[in-house]
């Protein structure tokens, strides 16, 4: 059966209708797959980012910004930090040979009796601890100085009078007369300091005034014996904040701008290592120096070494060792100072101190601290191991004299 053939115009119309219908179908299917532009995109639930930001905020990030904690700390104490210039006159005498009568008859009397005087100048730092003009610094900064000049940050200079020096703890107090309204450095507590805390050193290193260096507290209670100055009685704060000659006597600050130590440049060979006297120790010594001008330190009079079983064993297995040492923990007496309390009490070289007043002694630092905390004239019951025997010896402490 044959269908009648449609006119050409009808065929073109049907083709256009078919194309339009196909376009509508494709558009509808596409809209089912893609999100409608008229509909808003799904909104995720609101999240509080403050906690996340707080967790990500590190001390280093907080230190970098428009308001540095270092700047705030230095501003809090900066005007109380001073520069200390010292002068000392040294007169050298002529060699006695040049004063021999025969020499003078031969060469004449045109030789002077004394050599020309020589001026030695020193530089250090300090900080004001009282509005009346009390300045705390290191003893080695002002020791034996004929003239002390204190320069404030604002440029004013004053003659300083040394009120007291304690060589054993390397501390000194200087007084200036500049009225009663001077800036005072806020003193913190070194007992609260922890390893890893911020450490800010302020002072005048190498003559560069008002210099600030930043680091951390590297370790605590670094003994003076470990540092290499056995004539001192100190447990230092060790820091990697740069401390150079001229920094001596300046403050070591925590992140809040409180003084936690007194910078002490004592190791010229140190690279990236500095030491500071804990402020708690300095407070106690400063008050005594202000009142009495000096500090009395008790002592026994022994040169000592920490002894361990391993160290004793090394000695005993050495065929060239002059003595055999008991393999125990204690303090080995290397030398007894003549006319000292220890010598008078009968302590001998080679004795091992194992106990004082019933307390076990295991290190030289422990024994030194125990004696330092005792009273002058106090009788200490010292138990020593002498060979295979133990003895109880009563030692009355004496007063340690300064090296000067």
Q: Looking at 148, 175, 202, which one is the last position of a domain?
A: 175
The domain boundary residue, chosen from 140, 175, 210 = 175
Average pLDDT, the chain: 82
Q: Which pLDDT score is estimated for 160?
A: 95
First to last CA, the chain: 139
Residues 326 and 248 in one domain: no
- Report the greatest alpha carbon distance in the chain: 165
Judge whether 37 lies within some domain: no
Res 269 pLDDT > 90: no
CB 304 within 8 A of CB 367: yes
231 flagged as catalytic? no
Residue 392 clears pLDDT 80, i.e. is over it:
yes
Contact of 189 with 197, CB cutoff 8 Å: no
| Block residue for tokens 């005594």 | 288
Q: Which two tokens stand for residue 26?
A: 């494709």
Cβ contact 279:156 at 8 Å = no
Q: How confident is the model at residue 377 (pLDDT cuts 50, 70, 90)?
A: very high
Among residues 85, 143, 166, 170, the one annotated as catalytic is 170
Residue 251 three-state SS = strand
Last residue of a domain, one of 278, 296, 314: 296
Residues 6 or more apart whose CB falls under 8 angstroms from that of 182 comprise: 80, 128, 131, 132, 133, 152
Catalytic position from the list 125, 248, 351, 363: 248
Domain harbouring 352, CATH code? 2.30.42.10
Query: Does position 33 have pLDDT exceeding 60, yes or no?
Result: no
Residues 157 and 86 in one domain: yes
Domain count, the chain: 3
For 135, phi then psi, to 5°, come to: -120, 130
- The enclosing domain of 247 has a CATH number of 2.40.10.10
pLDDT digits (tens, 9 = 90+) for 142-165: 999 999 999 999 899 999 999 999
CA distances to 122, 153, 182, 343 from 156, rounded to whole Å, are 19, 7, 12, 53
Residue 72 DSSP SS3: helix
From the list 85, 125, 140, 224, the catalytic residue is 140
Q: Which residue has the higher pLDDT, 6 or 85?
A: 85
User: In this model, does residue 36 exceed pLDDT 60?
Assistant: no
227 band by pLDDT with thresholds 50, 70 and 90: confident
16 is catalytic: no
Residue 102 sits in which domain range?
76-175
Percent of the chain with pLDDT over 70: 75
Pairwise pLDDT comparison (226 vs 61), residue with the higher score: 226
Average pLDDT on 215-229 reads 87
Structure tokens, 252: 């070591």
* pLDDT of res. 401: 81
């Amino acid at each position: 059966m044959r269908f009648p053939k449609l006119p050409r115009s009808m065929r073109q119309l049907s083709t256009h209708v078919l194309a339009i219908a196909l376009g509508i179908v494709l558009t509808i299917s596409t809209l089912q797959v893609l999100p409608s532009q008229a509909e808003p995109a799904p909104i995720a639930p609101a999240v509080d980012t403050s906690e996340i930001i707080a967790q990500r905020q590190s001390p280093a990030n907080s230190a970098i910004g428009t308001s540095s904690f270092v700047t705030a700390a230095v501003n809090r104490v900066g005007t109380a930090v001073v520069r200390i210039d010292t002068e000392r006159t040294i007169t050298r005498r002529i060699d006695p040979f040049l004063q021999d009568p025969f020499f003078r008859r031969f060469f004449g009397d045109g030789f002077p009796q004394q050599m020309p005087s020589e001026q030695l100048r020193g530089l250090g730092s300090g900080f004001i601890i009282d509005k009346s003009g009390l300045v705390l610094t290191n003893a080695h900064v002002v020791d034996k100085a004929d003239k002390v000049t204190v320069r404030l940050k604002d440029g004013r200079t004053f003659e300083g009078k040394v009120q007291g020096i304690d060589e054993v703890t390397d501390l000194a107090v200087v007084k200036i007369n500049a009225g009663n309204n001077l800036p005072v450095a806020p003193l913190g507590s070194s007992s609260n300091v922890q390893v890893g805390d911020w450490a800010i050193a302020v002072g005048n290193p190498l003559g560069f005034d008002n210099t600030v260096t930043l680091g951390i507290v590297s370790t605590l209670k670094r003994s003076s014996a470990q540092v290499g100055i056995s004539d001192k009685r100190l447990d230092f704060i060790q820091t990697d904040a740069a401390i150079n000659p001229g920094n001596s006597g300046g403050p070591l600050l925590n992140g809040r701008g409180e003084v936690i130590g007194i910078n002490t440049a004592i190791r010229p060979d140190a690279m990236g290592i500095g030491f500071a006297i804990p402020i708690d120790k300095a407070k106690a010594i400063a008050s005594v120096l202000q009142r009495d001008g000096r500090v009395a330190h008790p002592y026994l009079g022994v040169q000592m070494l920490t002894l361990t079983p391993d160290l004793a064993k090394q000695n005993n297995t050495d065929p060239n060792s002059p003595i055999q040492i008991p393999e125990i923990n204690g303090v080995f007496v290397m030398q007894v100072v003549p006319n000292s309390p220890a010598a008078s009490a009968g302590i001998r070289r080679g004795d091992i101190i194992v106990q004082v007043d019933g307390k076990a002694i295991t290190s030289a630092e422990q024994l030194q601290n125990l004696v330092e905390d005792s009273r002058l004239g106090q009788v200490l019951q010292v138990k020593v191991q002498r060979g295979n025997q133990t003895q109880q010896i009563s030692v009355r402490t004496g007063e340690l004299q300064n090296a000067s």
